[in-house]
Amino acid sequence: MMSRQAFLCSLGSLYLSILFIFLLMDVYARPANNSVLKEKATDSKDENEILPPDHLNGVKMEMDGHLNKEFHQEVFLGKEMEEFEEDSEPRKNRKKLMVIFSKVDINNDKKIGAKEMQRWIMEKTDEHFQEAVEENKMHFRAVDPDGDGHVSWDEYKIKFLASKGFNEKEIAEKVRNNEELKIDEETQEVLDNLKDRWYQADNPPPDLLLNEEEFLSFLHPEHSRGMLKFMVKEIIRDLDQDGDKKLTLSEFISLPVGTVENQQAQDIDDDWVKDRRKEFEEVIDANHDGIVTMEELEEYMDPMNEYNALNEAKQMIAVADENQNHHLELEEILKYSEYFTGSKLMDYARNVHEEF
C-alpha cells in the first residue's frame, strides 16, 4: 500500500507534468511575435533598394567578376524565368516552353535559326532593362523622401548607414554638423566604393546630386556606357594581378582566396576553372591573342550588343543542335530544357507530338 508521503510525491509530480503541458500549449497557442522578423525583413529590403545589386539580369558577368550562371535562362525566358521553378509541374513547363518556341519561330517553319534567336535574346534583354527602370522608380522614391527629384550623396549615405543598423537621426545630425562618423572599417570600405560609383553616375555638370536617370546608372551600370566602362575597370582591378590593366587567362581563372579542404570542394573549383577558361578563350578574348583588354571586356559585358547577341544565339543553338542543321527543333529544346529554362523535361520530349 502506498505511503502518504509517496502519494504526495506522486501527486506533486503529476501536477508539475500537467503544468508543463499547459505551458507548452500556451507557448504554441500564442500568435507568433513577428515584430523582430518584420524589422529585419524591412531592413534587408531597404538595403536591397539602395545598394547596387551584384547580379544584373541579362548581363554575362556579375559585378564582382563572377560569371552569371543563369545568363542563358535570363535571355531565353525573360520575365517568365520565375515561372520555370524546379518544383513546377513538368507538363506545365513543357507547354510553356512550346509557347515560347512558337514565339521565337517567327517564320513558322518549325525550327529556330540564329537570327530568330538573336532577335529573341535582344527582346528578352530589353525586358530586363524595362524591369530595372520600373524598379528604379520605386527605389528612387525610397531615397528621395522630400520628393525634389534629386538625391544628394549625404542623403544617400544617411539612408545607406540606416540600412546597416545605424540610428538615422543621429547619423543625419552628425552629417549636417560635419561631425566624424564612427563607422567600422568594412562598412567604410563599402561606403568609399559606393562614393566612387556615385561620382561616376553623376553626369556633367557634376553636382553630386543624382536624378532618377542617374540613380538608375548608379544601381544598374548596364544602362549607361560610361558606367559600363567603370564597372569593367572595377572588375579588371579586382582580377588584374600584375597591374597592366589587362587580363591573362591565368588571372581570369585564378581561384578565389581560400583553400580546398576536400574532394567535393576540389571538384567545385575544377568546374569553376573549366567554365571560366571556356568563356575566356571562346567568347571574351575576341581576337584570341590570350589577352583580354578593357575594350574586349566592355563589349562582352554590354547586354545590348547585337553582335554578342548573335554569337550567343549561335552558341545556344550549338548546345542542343543534335542533327547539326544549325537550327533548333522543338524536340531538341525540350531535351535540353535544363540549359534553356533550368527545368528538366527530358522525359517528356518523346511525347511532344501529342501536344500538336
Q: Is the pLDDT of residue 48 over 80?
A: no
Q: Is the pLDDT of residue 354 over 90?
A: no
Q: Is the pLDDT of residue 263 over 60?
A: no
Residue-wise pLDDT tens digits, 50-106: 788 889 999 999 988 899 999 999 999 998 888 887 657 888 888 999 999 999 999
How far apart are alpha carbons 312 and 325 in whole angstroms? 17
The pLDDT-based confidence of 26 (bands split at 50, 70, 90) is very low
How far apart are alpha carbons 24 and 39 in whole angstroms? 27
Q: Is the pLDDT of residue 30 over 70?
A: no
Residue-wise pLDDT tens digits, 117-161: 999 999 999 999 999 999 999 999 888 878 899 999 999 999 999
Q: Is the pLDDT of residue 13 over 70?
A: no
pTM: 0.76
pLDDT score at 39: 32
How far apart are alpha carbons 26 and 264 in whole angstroms? 46
pLDDT score at 2: 47
pLDDT score at 40: 32
pLDDT score at 23: 37
pLDDT score at 81: 87
Residue-wise pLDDT tens digits, 202-252: 998 888 899 999 999 999 999 999 999 999 999 999 999 999 999 999 999
Residue-wise pLDDT tens digits, 290-343: 999 999 999 999 999 999 999 999 999 999 999 999 999 999 999 999 999 987
Residue 80 corresponds to which cell in the numbers above?
A: 517568365
How far apart are alpha carbons 162 and 193 in whole angstroms? 17
pLDDT score at 265: 53
Taking alpha carbons only, the member of 68, 195, 79 closest to residue 130 is 79
